[in-house]
Structure formats: structure tokens, C-alpha cells
């Protein structure tokens, strides 16, 4: 049961309702709980977290009014806008009633909210409670988002082909083609979300799940540009390694399979919790993996291939060809997988959590960014930190096979492995007692205590 001290300070944390947002918020909650705060997780009904995995927190479900049809909408920006419209007053009401998530006399000292659920900030302002935003993407993504609005005003969205390779001035190594746009759903909705969610002004501070040694330059730019204190306290999972946040059931059966593989031999493949692939892409990925002759662990999320339940169309010839050399699961315990000594490479969509998790385990990457901030992360992985190589253009079995061989067997891959191990050591230092993230975490706790 939660220990609700009468005089303790309570924080209300509001996660964004997607896996890549929920995970860092629950990690932050775990960290702040360990620093003596009482925690309430206020979440939408849509993609709600598993409260039984967190007996130390109080949970508050915000009625979000989404219909069955709205929940199934593939346009995530449309869902985000609707949630924000629907939740502002219901959240304010939940907070002002305050019956099931605070003790008598207990004060909510701050609302920490994911930038996507910006209704929280509006409710906090109405109730005169201080608020702090958590941004779950990198500092590089955060600093370049406003450029998208400039491009839109100039009529350059979608970014024309002639600009895709052009460097973005002052934001090396990014090119205009790497800027975090979406290639599905309504662009108008997308821009509305960016304008409403990623506007640093209203909050009293911003927490970033990043680390100074990875993003010195974008962090310096953020500090110059915005007046609010910025706390780069990541990678959060390093401070909260046991925090459980999976929305899907993890298949731990892949760990005994990994135990049977040799050191650094396995390529782990996952495109995260949102990205989709076509049946053609599935087939090209499958044959690229098969032809590489390397062992692989592949996460294919049910529903991630339009028109298929799971992998029922995977051809028998492929299964016959790979036999026990491949293990396919619906959802993996990713952090355990990356930490496993058999895993020698990560073919990833480069979501920010996956990027940090791979760096922290010293695993070099094959980058297949699909949309949004993944393109920014992939560019940093390949051209700034030099710990990954990018699969560019259409996914095709020959390119896949070559990329896997390069990463797992060739000198170029070996150099990336060395670079990512160097980076891992720097990150390990940052989360240690004398490191930058540890310092910013103490500063954040000081600020929260003073509220
Ligand atoms: N993840 C997992 N099992 C899987 C695939 C992903 O636990 O099989 C986790 C992964 O560890 C990461 C999160 O899901 O923490 C995905 O977040 P990310 O930012 O990488 O990508 P997104 O899903 O938001 O596109």
C-alpha cells in the first residue's frame, strides 16, 4: 500500500497515453517517490497504465470521453487534440474534488505533465498549482520543432525534395529532411498539436529525458532560447531500472532463446509501439534477415501490419530457411534483451526511448526511422555519435542483408560498437554521483521541495 504521509508533498504526474510517453513518466514517478514525494498518476482512460504494477502510487483516472471509433483512429494527432479538449474540465474537477488521491491536509505541490497532455497545464493554471512539463523526446528535437512552423509559413511543408538533403543552419548534423514531421494523418492536426503542446512558455520548468554528454549543443541552444529552467535528468531508466510500464504483455520466452546464442551474435529488431509496416516491407525485412544468416530476435506487434492480425501470411519457405536461427515475438522485455550479452545489434525505428536504451547497453544500431523525432534521432546516431548506420530509401532485402553484415561482421560495425561503448561509459558517468544528470535531478528535487 502507498505510504501517504500527512505532511508529505504530493506530486500529480500526468503521462501521455502512448508507450513512449508513459514509460519515462512512470520512471520519473519512481525516482521522485524514492526522493520522498507522494505520487498520484493521473491518466486518461485511453491506454491507461497498469496500476497493480505500482502499489506505491495513487492512480486517478481522468474521464476522457473518447468513443470506440475515436480510439481506433490511426491519426494520433486527432486523438491527442480530442483528448485535450475532453479532459481539461474533467481533470480540473477530479483535482478539485481531491477525495481519492490526497490525504486530508495534504497539498499538491506540483503537476508534472507530458507536453502532449497540455490540458493538465491549463487545469493547473486554473487551480493555481505550479506545473512542470516533461518532454519525452531529445533536446535536438525540441529545439528544431519551431523551424517546422517557419517552413509551413513559407509554404515548404511537406519539405520539397530539393530541400531534403540541405543542412539546417545552426543545427548540424540535421538536414531539412530530418525535421520531425509526420507522414501520415492530417498535417493540420499535427501542426496544431505541435503548436499547443511544445510551447515552452507556460510551464515553470521543463524536464527532458536526455543527458548533457549526448546533447550538449542542443541543450545550450534551448537554455539560450527559453527563459524557463531546463532539467536534463536522463536517461530516466538508469535511475529507475525496475519501473514497469508496458502496455502490452511481454513475451519473456525470448530470453531462454537468447541464452542459447553466442556473445554479440544476435540482431534484435523492433520498430517500437506505433510504427506500421506494409506486407511488402514485412517480406523484404524477413528475407533480408534470412539471407544475412545471422541469428535474430524480431518483435512484430499484432496489428502493426495493416490487413494482418499478426504474421499469418509469413511464407513457409522463410520459416523453413531460418528455423531456430530466428525468434519472433509480439512484444519483448526490451531493456532485458538489449542488456543480454548475446545481443550485438539493434535494428530500430529510433524512438527516443529505444535510442537511449541501446546506447546505455552499448549496442550499435541499424536505423530505420519512420516518422516524427525518429528521423532526428537516426541522424544523431549515424552522423553525430556514429554508433549506427541508416537504412535509406525503400526497405529492400539486399540492402537489409548488407546492413546486417556490416553491423555484425565488418570493421565499420566494430568501430560503431567501440563508439557506442565509449558513449555508454560517458552516460554511466552522467548518472553517477558526480554526473550531470544526478546534479540536475537534485536541482529538480530542490525546486519541487520549494513549491
Ligand atoms: N518496447 C518494449 N518491448 C518491445 C518494443 C518496445 O518494451 O517489444 C519498449 C522500449 O523499451 C521503449 C518503448 O517500448 O521503452 C518504445 O518507445 P520508443 O520511444 O523507443 O518508441 P515509440 O514506441 O514511442 O515509437
Whether residue 354 has its Cβ less than 6 Å from ligand 1 = yes
If one residue of 16, 17, 20, 346 were mutated to test the ligand 1 pocket, choosing by the most ligand atoms within 8 A of its CB, it would be 20
Ligand 1 atom having least distance to the Cα of 18: 24
Ligand 1 centroid from CA 137, angstroms: 13
Does residue 230 sit in the same domain as residue 309? no
> Which residue puts its alpha carbon closest to atom 7 of ligand 1?
334
The answer to whether the Cα torsion of 34, 48, 279, 277 is positive or negative is negative
Ligand 1 centroid from CA 189, angstroms: 24
Does residue 413 sit in the same domain as residue 439? no
Does residue 435 sit in the same domain as residue 424? no
Residues 371/341, Cβ–Cβ less than 8 Å: no
Whether residue 369 has its Cβ less than 6 Å from ligand 1 = no
Q: Which residues contact 308 (CB under 8 A, 6 or more apart)?
A: 279
Q: What CATH number has the domain bearing residue 411?
A: 3.40.50.2000
Show the cell assigned to 54: 505500482
> Which residue puts its alpha carbon closest to atom 2 of ligand 1?
334
Ligand 1 centroid from CA 349, angstroms: 10
pLDDT of residue 55: 94
The answer to whether the Cα torsion of 320, 365, 438, 36 is positive or negative is negative
If one residue of 180, 209, 248, 334 were mutated to test the ligand 1 pocket, choosing by the most ligand atoms within 8 A of its CB, it would be 334
- Residue 241 in any domain: the answer is no
- Residue 240 in any domain: the answer is no
- Residue 382 in any domain: the answer is yes
Quote the pTM value: 0.95
Whether residue 138 has its Cβ less than 6 Å from ligand 1 = no
Tell me the residue range of the domain where 323 lies. 254-428
- Residue 247 in any domain: the answer is no
Does residue 320 sit in the same domain as residue 413? yes
Does residue 57 sit in the same domain as residue 152? yes
pLDDT of residue 201: 66
pLDDT of residue 226: 86
What size, in residues, is the chain? 451
Ligand 1 centroid from CA 119, angstroms: 25
Ligand 1 atom having least distance to the Cα of 246: 7
Whether residue 351 has its Cβ less than 6 Å from ligand 1 = yes
Give per-residue pLDDT as tens, 335-347: 999 999 999 999 9
Does residue 225 sit in the same domain as residue 300? no
d(CA 37, CA 449): 9
Does residue 207 sit in the same domain as residue 262? no
- Residue 94 in any domain: the answer is yes
- Residue 245 in any domain: the answer is no
Does residue 27 sit in the same domain as residue 165? yes
- Residue 4 in any domain: the answer is no
Does residue 188 sit in the same domain as residue 229? yes
Does residue 441 sit in the same domain as residue 420? no
pLDDT of residue 182: 80
d(CA 30, CA 11): 12
- Per DSSP, the residues of 139-176 read HHHHHHHHHHHHHHHTT--SPPGGGTTSBPTTSTT-BG
Does residue 424 sit in the same domain as residue 436? no
Whether residue 353 has its Cβ less than 6 Å from ligand 1 = yes
> Which residue puts its alpha carbon closest to atom 1 of ligand 1?
334
- Residue 3 in any domain: the answer is no
Does residue 65 sit in the same domain as residue 98? yes
Ligand 1 centroid from CA 109, angstroms: 31
- Identify the residue whose cell numbers are 526511448: 353
Residue numbers of the chain with a pLDDT score lower than 50:
1-7
CB atoms within 10 A of CB 281: 16
Provide the number of structural domains found in the chain: 2
Phi, psi for 320 (deg, rounded to 5): -65, -40
Amino acid at each position: 500500500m502507498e505510504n501517504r504521509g500527512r505532511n508529505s508533498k504530493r506530486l500529480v504526474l500526468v503521462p501521455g497515453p502512448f508507450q513512449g510517453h508513459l514509460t519515462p513518466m512512470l520512471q520519473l514517478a519512481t525516482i521522485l517517490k524514492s526522493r520522498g514525494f507522494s505520487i498520484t498518476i493521473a491518466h486518461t482512460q485511453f491506454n491507461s497504465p497498469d496500476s497493480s504494477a505500482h502499489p506505491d502510487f495513487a492512480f486517478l483516472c481522468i474521464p476522457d470521453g473518447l468513443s470506440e471509433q475515436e480510439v481506433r483512429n490511426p491519426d494520433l494527432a486527432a486523438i491527442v487534440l480530442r483528448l485535450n479538449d475532453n479532459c481539461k474540465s474533467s481533470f480540473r474537477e477530479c483535482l478539485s474534488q481531491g477525495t481519492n488521491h490526497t490525504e486530508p491536509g495534504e497539498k499538491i505541490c506540483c503537476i508534472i505533465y507530458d507536453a502532449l497532455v497540455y490540458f493538465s497545464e491549463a487545469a493547473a493554471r486554473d487551480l493555481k498549482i505550479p506545473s512542470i512539463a516533461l518532454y519525452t523526446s531529445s533536446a535536438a528535437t525540441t529545439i528544431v520543432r519551431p523551424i517546422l512552423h517557419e517552413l509551413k509559413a513559407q509554404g515548404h511543408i511537406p519539405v520539397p525534395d530539393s530541400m531534403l538533403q540541405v543542412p539546417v543552419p545552426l543545427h548540424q548534423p540535421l538536414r531539412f529532411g530530418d525535421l520531425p514531421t509526420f507522414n501520415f494523418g492530417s498535417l493540420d492536426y499535427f501542426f496544431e498539436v505541435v503548436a499547443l503542446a511544445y510551447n515552452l512558455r507556460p510551464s515553470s520548468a521543463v524536464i527532458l529525458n536526455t543527458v548533457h554528454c549526448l546533447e550538449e549543443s542542443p541543450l545550450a541552444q534551448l537554455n539560450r532560447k527559453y527563459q524557463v529552467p531546463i532539467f536534463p535528468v536522463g536517461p530516466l531508466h538508469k535511475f529507475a531500472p525496475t519501473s514497469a510500464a508496458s502496455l502490452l504483455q511481454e513475451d519473456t520466452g525470448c530470453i531462454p532463446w537468447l541464452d542459447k546464442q553466442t556473445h554479440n551474435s544476435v540482431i534484435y529488431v523492433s520498430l517500437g509501439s506505433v510504427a506500421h509496416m506494409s506486407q511488402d516491407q514485412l517480406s523484404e525485412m524477413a528475407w533480408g534477415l534470412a539471407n544475412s544468416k545471422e541469428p535474430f530476435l524480431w518483435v512484430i506487434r499484432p496489428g502493426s501490419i495493416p490487413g494482418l492480425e499478426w504474421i499469418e501470411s509469413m511464407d513457409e519457405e522463410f520459416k523453413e530457411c531460418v528455423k531456430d536461427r530466428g525468434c519472433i515475438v509480439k512484444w519483448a522485455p526490451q531493456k532485458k534483451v538489449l542488456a543480454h550479452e548475446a545481443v550485438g545489434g539493434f535494428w530500430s525505428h529510433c524512438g527516443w526511448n529505444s535510442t537511449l536504451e541501446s546506447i546505455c547497453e552499448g549496442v550499435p544500431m541499424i536505423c530505420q526511422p519512420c516518422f516524427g523525432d525518429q528521423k532526428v534521432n537516426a541522424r544523431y546516431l549515424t552522423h553525430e555519435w556514429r554508433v549506427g548506420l541508416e537504412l535509406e530509401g525503400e526497405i529492400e532485402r539486399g540492402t537489409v542483408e548488407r546492413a546486417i553484415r556490416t553491423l555484425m561482421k565488418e570493421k565499420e560495425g566494430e568501430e560503431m560498437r567501440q563508439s557506442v561503448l565509449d558513449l555508454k561509459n560517458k552516460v554511466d558517468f552522467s548518472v553517477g554521483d558526480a554526473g550531470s544528470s544526478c546534479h540536475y535531478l537534485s536541482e529538480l528535487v530542490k525546486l519541487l521541495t520549494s513549491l
